[in-house]
Structure 1
Amino acid sequence: MLKAERHHYIMTKLVAEHRVSTIDLAVELCMSEDSIRRDLNKLHEKGLLEKVYGGAVPIAEKNRSVFDIVITNEQKKKEIGYKALSLLHDGQVIIMSGGTTNMVFSKLIPPSLKATIYTYSLPIAMQLSQYPNIDLIFIGGKMQKNAMVTIGMDVLQVLSKIKADICFMGVSSIDVKQGLTEEGYEVSIVKKAMIESSDKVIAMFTADKMNTKKPHVVCDLTMLDTIVTDLGSDDPRLEEYKKSGVFIF
């Protein structure tokens, strides 16, 4: 499909649905997510739409907040979040990665929870700042603007000094043979540091992330304690993951 045709498709969909998702567009147009992001950036530069985290919205509906985040499969991510709530306990030291699954999860945390939570995700930090009983530590560093997470040596130094009880890890791609993988090298390094600093690692993802892979390895499945998905624990798609020894929740 030519660029002009893609742009026309995106704008038509935006008018009809008032919001478009980078992931959904990539699937519908059989393009990479990076190509779709470039298309959205070009349309943004022309003033035809407003690029936001995860997609785009019409100019007329632009939210003044920079945290107008497009969340795909939100109901499935809520199902994951509700499952993961049982893993939270008062007094825990928690690390949370970025990603929209963890964003949805953070909104479900009960206000009564008394815990210390570290995160390098700015949107999640802003969400958790509303909880009076959570001791929140935002890990500062170089900002990766497209994902609104911090990266670099400053983040790694902080993580190296943390001893967390549990890490809730958002997942970009997971595969039985390749394990967890990421698109960006710097994010993969930060996630490795998160795993090393945590007693337990909980991987949270929707089923569409399964059996996919990105260029940069985070860890193999043996480094994970628990997988939380929107699938039932007896779903046959999870059989190979169970064989690796990871607990399916």
Structure 2
Amino acid sequence: MLKAERHQYIMTKLVEDQKVVTTDLALALDLSEDTIRRDLNELDSKKLLEKVYGGAVQVSEKSANIFDVYISQEEQKKQIVRKALSLLRDDQVIIMSGGSTNLVFAKLIPADLKATIYTYSLPIAMQLSQHPNIDLIFIGGKMQKNAMVTIGMDVIQVVSKIKADICFIGASSINIKQGLTEIGYEISIVKKAMIEASDKVVSMFSSDKLDTKMPHGVCELTKLNTIVTDLDPNDAQLEEYRKSGVFIL
């Protein structure tokens, strides 16, 4: 497993469980505890987690406003989502998954756009609630508290009845063979339902997600119409993705 994949796994587990244990990570990833400790030290140095004896916890500093979500590498994500804004049209029915890139996207949607947007992400719903011309529909269900998204059959039932023009779906990992994959099973199921409910599927993600994988499949590359990254569309890292037939912005 590549270091970027390990780091993504660790950070996802940290969001889900609020802490990670070195021995558990070593067992789950089939790696030595020394390797895990080095990973935790590196993530701690980047202030992405707080290393403690036997593992790590989430960084202790919290925003006073629970809806003032910290977004890492926000400028890079703005670069990504500005490309995707060209895909928006008036009167579209849109589904948006959770994730920080989609949250940045929600912030930058033009004020004059008129559309209907469904989302199961509470931060994105709160952001879109301030938009003057968006008809916002928040999909309720069991709340995954750390990620502030709803999951479960209630969400899937609502999504399965939507007839969306386009969905904007975040990516934890993507590679040529497996396509989109997720660390969490429940989120992967919700994303599958989003894809099935939409005429077009757009995935936005930073280039460090390329050629990585997680345990639970979401969809093959053939299910994606467009991928949007921080790279130039002609970058060599995207060559195999271009060959798969997916359009790259």
TM-score (norm 1): 0.79
Which residue of structure 1 aligns with residue 23 of structure 2? none
Cα 1:140–1:35 change in 2 (3 A) is closer
Partner secondary structure for residue 66 of structure 2:
coil
Q: CA deviation at 1:57?
A: 4.9
How far apart, CA to CA, are the structure 2 residues paired with 1:194 and 1:105? 18
User: Do structure 1's residue 56 and structure 2's residue 56 form an aligned pair?
Assistant: no
Structural mapping, 1:101-120, within 5 Å: 101-120=101-120
Gaps of 5+ in 1: 1-22, 44-50
How far apart, CA to CA, are the structure 1 residues paired with 2:227 and 2:168? 10
Identity %: 67
Which residue of structure 2 aligns with residue 234 of structure 1? 234
Cα 1:63–1:232 change in 2 (3 A) is same
How far apart, CA to CA, are the structure 1 residues paired with 2:9 and 2:88? 38
| 8 Å CA contact 2:117, 2:137 repeated in 1 | yes
Gaps of 5+ in 2: 21-48
Q: CA deviation at 1:93?
A: 0.2
Q: Deviations over 1:42-75 (max 9, x none)?
A: 97xxxxxxx8xxx5353xxx43211232212211
How far apart, CA to CA, are the structure 2 residues paired with 1:144 and 1:188? 13
Q: CA deviation at 1:124?
A: 0.1
Which residue of structure 2 aligns with residue 185 of structure 1? 185
How far apart, CA to CA, are the structure 1 residues paired with 2:172 and 2:71? 14
Q: CA deviation at 1:165?
A: 0.2
User: Do structure 1's residue 157 and structure 2's residue 157 form an aligned pair?
Assistant: yes
How far apart, CA to CA, are the structure 1 residues paired with 2:239 and 2:209? 16
Which residue of structure 2 aligns with residue 206 of structure 1? 206
| 8 Å CA contact 2:63, 2:69 repeated in 1 | no
Q: CA deviation at 1:191?
A: 0.1
Q: CA deviation at 1:41?
A: 8.8
Structural mapping, 1:53-202, within 5 Å: 56-58=59-61, 62-202=62-202
Q: CA deviation at 1:80?
A: 0.9
Range with bigger deviation, 67-76 or 213-222: 67-76
How far apart, CA to CA, are the structure 2 residues paired with 1:225 and 1:134? 24
Give the superposed CA RMSD.
2.3
How far apart, CA to CA, are the structure 2 residues paired with 1:31 and 1:128? 29
Deviating beyond 6 angstroms after TM superposition, the runs of 4 or more aligned structure 1 residues are: none
| 8 Å CA contact 2:50, 2:59 repeated in 1 | no
Cα 1:125–1:32 change in 2 (3 A) is same
Q: Number of aligned pairs?
A: 211
